[in-house]
Amino acid sequence: MSDWIERLKNEDDETAKATEMGVTLRLHEAKVVTAKAPAFWQDLCDRLQQYSYRLRETFPRDNERQCSVTTSGNSCLILGQKAPFTALDLTLNLNGMCLDARWDSGDRKREPPTRSNSSFKFQLDDTEEVFVVQGNQNYAAPAHLAEYLIRRVCNMKG
């Protein structure tokens, strides 16, 4: 006859160990992300400013391919230069382990802008390098995320 009570206790012990291991892993991930995300953020902001400058220099008469980038602490504002205007207010949120994004778009002279919110979640790869995820899209390098953001703000195809 099997000892179902002992089996029940063992199952409870295994569940408790798995829960404890999960909590430990999440705390470790949060610690690593909190340590590495500011460097990712700084690199992202630098890339956004570089790309914005290079677009103005490369296409001086084509404001459809231009935007302005303003950074201040944990916030970055990217503003497209051609109607319908798109503005992205991006904020580093270490507590939420993400980049919060507020998108405003529309023709500011004719109607109030439409607003939507999204976030880019920080995650770690197998080597504990930080990357961001939005939906089903991963951005391992700040350069790739910067390209995506500028293309979207400037309404560029491709």
User: For 6-42, what is each residue's pLDDT tens digit?
Assistant: 888 888 888 888 778 877 778 888 899 999 999 999 9
> What are the backbone angles phi and psi of residue 128, rounded to the nearest 5°?
65, 30
Q: Which residue has the higher pLDDT, 114 or 74?
A: 74
Token pair 């991963």: residue: 138
Report the residue count for the chain. 158
Give dist(CA 23, CA 42) in Å, integer: 29
User: What is residue 155's DSSP assignment?
Assistant: T
Cross-strand partners of 85:
106
pLDDT tens digits for 86-107?
999 999 999 999 999 999 988 7
Instruction: Identify the band that residue 158 occupies on the pLDDT scale cut at 50, 70 and 90.
Output: low
